[in-house]
Amino acid sequence: MASAVDMTSHPRTAVIFPGQGSQVLGMLQELAEQYPEIQETFAEASKTIDVDLWEVCQDEERLAMTQYTQPALLTASIAIWRILQPKMPTPCYLAGHSLGEYSALCAAGVIKFADAVPLVYKRGQLMQEAVEGIPTAMAAVLGLEDQCVVTLCEQACEIVDGAVVNAANFNSPGQVVVSGNQIGVEKVIDNVQSTGKKAIPLKVSVPSHCDLMQPASAELAKALDKISFSLPTIPVIQNRHARVEQTAADIKLALTEQLCESVLWSKTMQVMSDKQITRLIECGSGNVLSNLAKRQTHPIASYPTDKPMRLDKLLEDLL
Which whole-number Å values give the CA distances from 198 to 14, 137, 176, 186, 190, in the listed order? 32, 16, 11, 13, 10
Closest CA to 216 of 294, 131, 143: 131
Residues 6+ apart with CB under 8 A from 222: none
Pairing of strands 279-282, 93-96: unpaired
The CATH number assigned to the domain with range 7-130+212-318 reads 3.40.366.10
Query: 3.30.750.24, 3.40.50.150, 1.10.3720.10, 3.30.70.250: which CATH number matches 136-205?
Result: 3.30.70.250
Neighbours of 90 (CB within 10 A): 9
7-130+212-318 shares its CATH topology with 136-205:
no
As a 3-state breakdown, the chain gives helix, strand, coil percent values, each rounded to 5, of: 50, 15, 35
Burial class (CB in 10 A: 0-12, 13-18, 19+), 310: middle
Q: What are phi and psi of 165, to 5 degrees?
A: -155, 135
The set of catalytic residues is: 98, 209
Write out the chain's pLDDT in tens, 319 residues.
Answer: 443 334 445 789 999 999 999 999 999 999 999 999 999 999 999 999 999 999 999 999 999 999 999 999 999 999 999 999 999 999 999 999 999 999 999 999 999 999 999 999 999 999 999 999 999 999 999 999 999 999 999 999 999 999 999 999 999 999 999 999 999 999 999 999 999 999 999 988 899 999 999 999 999 999 999 999 999 999 999 999 999 999 999 999 999 999 999 999 999 999 999 999 999 999 999 999 999 999 999 999 999 999 999 999 898 888 6
Domain ranges of the chain: 7-130+212-318, 136-205
**Sign, CA torsion 14/139/64/135:** positive
Cα–Cα distance measured from residue 201 to residue 141, given in angstroms and rounded to the nearest whole number: 9
